A = this chain, B = another copy of it.
Amino acid sequence: MITINENFLNLQNNYLFSTIAKKVDDFKLKNPEKKIIKLGIGDVTRPIAPVVLEAMHKAIDEQGNLETFRGYGPEQGYEFLREKIAEFDYARRGVKISPDEIFVSDGAKCDCGNIGDILGTDNVVAITDPVYPVYLDTNVMSGRSGNYNNKTGKYEKIIYIPVTAENNFIPEFPKEIPDMIYLCFPNNPTGTTLSKEELKKWVDYARKNKILILFDSAYEIFISEENVPHTIYEIDGAKEVAIEFRSFSKTAGFTGLRCAYTVIPKELKVYTKQGKEVNLISLWDRRQGTKFNGVSYPVQRGAEAIYSEEGQKQIKENILYYMNNAKIIKEGLQEAGYTVYGGKNAPYIWLKIPSGLTSWEFFDKLLNEVNVVGTPGVGFGPSGEGYFRLTAFGTKENTIEAIERIKNMK
């Protein structure tokens, strides 16, 4: 008799954004005349840069020609792209990452989920709280979570590390030492960052305790302030303990095109239960070679194109556009008396809900009264209760209007 992976039965509700989509759809059905402004899901809206379009058109023409046609590419990604990444995203910042430590993929979400394939299911997982739901849900699926406790809103085996206004959004070491921890900076959902000094504390802690750091750096391009690390490998010793996930989704608007990459340094050691050292990179290489078949060739050519001088100029125009929206949201809400975080090095604004409302109640209030969609903080974890996320990915016009509406909300 065929049986299921019963860990799936431990998953709570539906995926956060599906729930929101359903609420919005229901509202639309009942109020077809209302103009809804969505500042909820973290999806980009600016068109793809011309250099990327040009590179993709060219690659597609190559696919139509017998002499230049390419079939299966390397599962790890083409050298032309891996070399550009190594040079531009790392060497330029004084960090030595070799192209064969870079694995191109179709999404950081996929990699963040699939990385669990190569890790033992007994590892104790720590997440910051609030957090991107994928880290948690994929660990529930693979059996690392234990049971869900309805009272606490937490899984029994997961270590939740609160990041709230109280600790200035800086995660503190938990009482129990975890085996693996997800860190995302610039942070989704709070929009906050860690300084090099703060991140170094975590790297040192991981080295001391043989912990794997899963560092999600999908929002690196939004960093505008000094002393914020652009890659965890700027920190001495990080190569021994950290994987880094990066993505073209936010960097270059690739959410619909699909391209990302994961870095696993050769120095990164993990262990058998008996304590024998294993290179994590060899496991991931085997996993990708067996369960993945590389990223679409024209998409990899498109990603390559952003590393030209003109490409950088073009993608940064979009980033500035979004960060201007972030400023509009941040300053507008502050004027309206709200306390807000983030928005300086990230496209997310994390808003403290002033009254006694829960974050889902605030979601409903915003949707029903001023037709603005955001994301309730508690959707990202129990410590997100009392907060609300707005994103800078809308159009400037909609962002201005949304903030005006919120300002005038009773």
CB pair B53–A270 under 8 Å, yes or no, is: no
Task: For A2, give its contact among B15, B43, B210, B297 (CB under 8 Å).
Answer: B210
Verify if A5 is at the interface (C-beta below 8 Å from B).
yes
Chain A, 139-170, CB within 8 A of any chain B CB:
141-142
CB proximity of A225 to chain B, nearest CB, Å: 27
CB pair A4–B63 under 8 Å, yes or no, is: no
Q: Which residues of B contact A210 (CB under 8 A)?
A: 1-2
Number of copies of this chain in the oligomer? 2
Verify if A355 is at the interface (C-beta below 8 Å from B).
no
CB pair B53–A3 under 8 Å, yes or no, is: no
New A-B pairs, 15, CB < 8 Å, besides A141-B291, A258-B294: A3-B120, A3-B271, A4-B118, A5-B117, A5-B118, A45-B71, A46-B66, A56-B298, A60-B60, A63-B256, A71-B255, A106-B258, A113-B291, A134-B290, A141-B290
CB pair A2–B71 under 8 Å, yes or no, is: no
Interface residues of chain A, those whose CB is within 8 Å of chain B, are 1-6, 8-9, 11, 15, 18, 41, 43-48, 50, 53, 56-57, 60-61, 63-66, 69-73, 106-107, 109-110, 113-114, 117-123, 134, 137-138, 141-142, 179-180, 209-212, 253, 255-258, 270-273, 275, 278, 280, 283, 286-287, 289-299
Complex CA–CA separation, A297 to B255 (angstroms)? 9
Given A179-B2, A290-B141, A296-B296: A66 and B47 interface contact (C-beta under 8 Å) = yes
Given A43-B71, A290-B138: A212 and B2 interface contact (C-beta under 8 Å) = yes
Nearest B residue to A279 via CB reads B4
